[in-house]
């Protein structure tokens, strides 16, 4: 008899992430730092799997996409041209009593949410993190840690176009860190000051932009569904006119129902020709595309699907989380899609005080390790070992028992159904690969 509960609260997720080595508070031994998180052994695997799946699906499996990896530090004029110096701001209010600061849209009735004190009038606060290049800290050496990866792709448009010989429509993809001096980082890894983005700048002929915008919205929604997010916990939301970023003609967000409510997972914007035109004007360089059909130089329009790796990881964690009561015992299980699971299989000896079982289990683990991330564990009873793997979402567990020495077969236990099958050692690798969808 299995009773199931799916939706977890944030406290449960944060505590599981810490306990099982997914995510830790940055600099925790010094009391932590706001808006920065560290990924531990399983968290980093989850994140890599998300990024690899994204890269494979949007770059390797498409003929109209190429990749890039541009610098976090860029010429400061980039941020003037892009409009970020002028417009990348949030309205900020100060509490006159406790001096805390809040985003104006996150407080109600001009009252401090912490102490009830009176708040100042909103003033604009630029979210870019400043830094200085070289030994002298003056205006001439001032630049910014990029607040989005996008600009690296716009300023490289002519070089990438020439090197790749692509024709419109085509896109550039990039994964990388971005930084924002968020006034109120919150909700665990949802809103942080340092995060990773997975961005596409897809260049199209003007006039075809609206159609491509709709295609990318569907494409990106389907991507989250393909890797297991629940349909009912995903929705599309179109931005109102006054919500649009300074570069956008239209934006639709893919929102996920996190434990703290519906919130943006990815934004898909129609950036028009804004960025290429701005960089042409500010740099004096030609960022046009020669359209053979009309024999004219044009500025392509840009559709930009821009997602956060950390937000995707959080959504996949929340969605995977299940609590069950199995035969009156509590079981916590992360039902990750096999592609995203940090560890694909774990191998145990049933009895850790039997050297022949331990040696054989270690051999099987090393052989499997050539084909997938595998964990060997003999530090607890079999029941506990299964529970540990359930909590990190390992799809399959392989157990070597006394009978294995006779019949050269092991037990494979399925994470979701908990069904067990007996498989000859020689067939374990292929059986696992098949179960992981790589057969
Ligand atoms: N280039 C467009 C752009 O940066 P955005 O909506 O500001 O657009 C895109 O950011 C994605 O980056 C968001 O959908 C979100 O997933 C992620 N993101 C933005 N700010 C973030 C933050 N402070 N912490 C974590 N992720 C963030």
Select from 264, 271, 272, 303 the residue to mutate for testing ligand 1; criterion: most ligand atoms less than 8 Å from CB: 264
- What is the CA(62)–ligand 1 centre distance, in A? 24
| pLDDT at position 316 | 98
Supply the DSSP symbol for 163.
Answer: H
For the Cβ of 324 lying below 6 angstroms from any atom of ligand 1, the answer is no
Look at the block and give the residue holding tokens 């006039």. Answer: 207
For the Cβ of 266 lying below 6 angstroms from any atom of ligand 1, the answer is yes
For the Cβ of 182 lying below 6 angstroms from any atom of ligand 1, the answer is yes
Select from 201, 255, 311, 316 the residue to mutate for testing ligand 1; criterion: most ligand atoms less than 8 Å from CB: 311
Long-range pairs, 285-293, Cβ under 8 A, ≥24:
285/158, 286/158, 287/154, 287/157, 287/158, 289/161, 289/168, 289/203, 291/168, 291/205
| pLDDT at position 302 | 98
For the Cβ of 148 lying below 6 angstroms from any atom of ligand 1, the answer is yes
Select from 197, 236, 315 the residue to mutate for testing ligand 1; criterion: most ligand atoms less than 8 Å from CB: 197
> 284: Cβ–Cβ under 8 A, 6 or more apart, which residues?
none
| pLDDT at position 4 | 63
Residue-wise DSSP of 14-77: HHHHHHTTSEEETTGGGT--TT-EEE-HHHHHHHHHHHHHHHIIIIIT-SSEEEE---SB--HH
Radius of gyration for the alpha carbons in the chain, expressed in angstroms and rounded? 25
**Residue 89 is inside which H or E element, if any?**
strand 89-94
- What is the CA(308)–ligand 1 centre distance, in A? 6
For the Cβ of 308 lying below 6 angstroms from any atom of ligand 1, the answer is yes
Q: Are 357 and 400 in contact (CB under 8 A)?
A: yes
The CA distances from residue 119 to 91, 92, 182, 185, in Å, are: 13, 10, 19, 19
- What is the CA(371)–ligand 1 centre distance, in A? 34
- Residue 90: name the closest of 128, 143, 145 by CA: 128
SS3 241: helix
Burial class (CB in 10 A: 0-12, 13-18, 19+), 75: middle
Q: Are 92 and 123 in contact (CB under 8 A)?
A: yes
Q: Are 166 and 64 in contact (CB under 8 A)?
A: yes
For the Cβ of 152 lying below 6 angstroms from any atom of ligand 1, the answer is no
> 366: Cβ–Cβ under 8 A, 6 or more apart, which residues?
none
Q: What angle do CA 15, 18, 21 make, to 5 degrees?
A: 140
Report the distance separating Cα 420 and Cα 413, nearest Å. Answer: 4
Report the distance separating Cα 197 and Cα 186, nearest Å. Answer: 18
* Two tokens, residue 329: 């015992």
> 300: Cβ–Cβ under 8 A, 6 or more apart, which residues?
168, 203, 204, 205, 206, 273, 276, 289
| pLDDT at position 421 | 97
* Two tokens, residue 134: 């070289």
User: Could you say which residues of the chain have pLDDT below 70?
Assistant: 1-7
Please measure the distance between the N-terminal and C-terminal CA atoms of the chain and give it in whole angstroms: 32
Q: What angle do CA 163, 63, 308 make, to 5 degrees?
A: 90
Select from 216, 267, 272 the residue to mutate for testing ligand 1; criterion: most ligand atoms less than 8 Å from CB: 267
Give the up-direction half-sphere exposure of residue 437: CA atoms within 13 A in the CB hemisphere. Answer: 8
| pLDDT at position 105 | 85
Q: Which atom of ligand 1 is nearest to the CA of 269?
A: 2
Whose C-alpha lies nearest to ligand 1, atom 2? 306
- What is the CA(283)–ligand 1 centre distance, in A? 26
| pLDDT at position 94 | 92
Give the up-direction half-sphere exposure of residue 244: CA atoms within 13 A in the CB hemisphere. Answer: 16
Q: Which atom of ligand 1 is nearest to the CA of 185?
A: 23
Look at the block and give the residue holding tokens 């990318």. Answer: 216
Q: Are strands 296-298 and 250-258 parallel, antiparallel or unpaired?
A: unpaired
| CA 258 to mean position of chain CA atoms | 14
For the Cβ of 275 lying below 6 angstroms from any atom of ligand 1, the answer is no
For the Cβ of 166 lying below 6 angstroms from any atom of ligand 1, the answer is no
Q: Are strands 345-349 and 374-376 parallel, antiparallel or unpaired?
A: parallel
Say if residue 169 is preceded by a cis peptide, omega within 30 of 0: yes
| pLDDT at position 140 | 86
Residue-wise DSSP of 403-419: THHHH-EEEEEETTT--
């Amino acid at each position: 008899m299995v009773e199931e509960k799916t939706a977890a609260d944030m406290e449960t997720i944060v505590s599981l992430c810490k306990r099982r080595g997914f995510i830790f508070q940055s600099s925790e031994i010094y009391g932590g730092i706001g808006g920065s998180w560290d990924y531990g052994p399983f968290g980093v695997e989850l994140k890599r799997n998300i990024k690899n799946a994204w890269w494979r699906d949007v770059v390797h499996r498409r003929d109209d996409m190429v990749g890039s990896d541009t610098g976090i530090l860029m010429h400061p004029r980039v941020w003037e041209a892009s409009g970020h110096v002028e417009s990348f701001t949030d309205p900020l209010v100060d509490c006159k009593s406790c001096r805390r600061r809040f985003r104006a849209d996150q407080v109600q009735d001009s009252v401090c949410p912490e102490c009830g004190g009176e708040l100042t009038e909103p003033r604009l606060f630029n979210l870019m993190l400043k830094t200085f290049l070289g030994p002298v800290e003056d205006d001439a050496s001032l630049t910014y840690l990029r607040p989005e990866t996008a600009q690296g792709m716009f300023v490289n448009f002519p070089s990438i176009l020439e090197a790749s010989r692509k024709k419109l429509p085509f896109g550039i993809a990039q994964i990388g860190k971005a930084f924002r001096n968020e006034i109120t980082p919150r909700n665990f890894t949802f809103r942080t000051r340092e995060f990773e983005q997975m961005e596409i700048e897809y260049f199209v002929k003007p006039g075809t932009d609206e159609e491509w915008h709709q295609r990318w919205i569907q494409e990106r929604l389907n991507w989250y569904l393909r890797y297991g997010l629940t349909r009912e916990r995903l929705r599309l939301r179109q931005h109102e006119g006054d919500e649009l970023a300074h570069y956008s003609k239209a934006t639709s967000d893919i929102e996920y129902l996190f434990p703290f409510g519906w919130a943006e997972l990815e934004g898909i914007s129609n950036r028009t020709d804004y960025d290429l035109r701005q960089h042409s004007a500010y740099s004096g360089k030609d960022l046009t595309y020669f359209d053979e059909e009309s024999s004219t130089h044009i500025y392509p329009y840009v559709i930009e699907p821009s997602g956060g790796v950390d937000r995707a990881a959080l959504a996949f964690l929340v969605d995977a989380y299940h609590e069950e009561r199995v035969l009156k015992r509590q079981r916590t299980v992360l039902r990750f899609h096999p592609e995203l699971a940090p560890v694909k299989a774990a191998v145990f000896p049933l009895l850790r005080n039997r050297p022949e079982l331990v040696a054989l289990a270690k051999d099987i683990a090393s052989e499997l390790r050539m084909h997938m991330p595998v964990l060997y564990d003999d530090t607890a009873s079999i029941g506990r070992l299964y529970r540990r793997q359930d909590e990190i979402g390992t799809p399959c567990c392989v157990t070597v028992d006394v009978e294995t020495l006779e019949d050269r077969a092991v037990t494979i236990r399925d994470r979701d159904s908990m069904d067990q099958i007996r498989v000859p050692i020689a067939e374990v690798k292929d059986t696992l690969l098949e179960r992981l969808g790589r057969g």
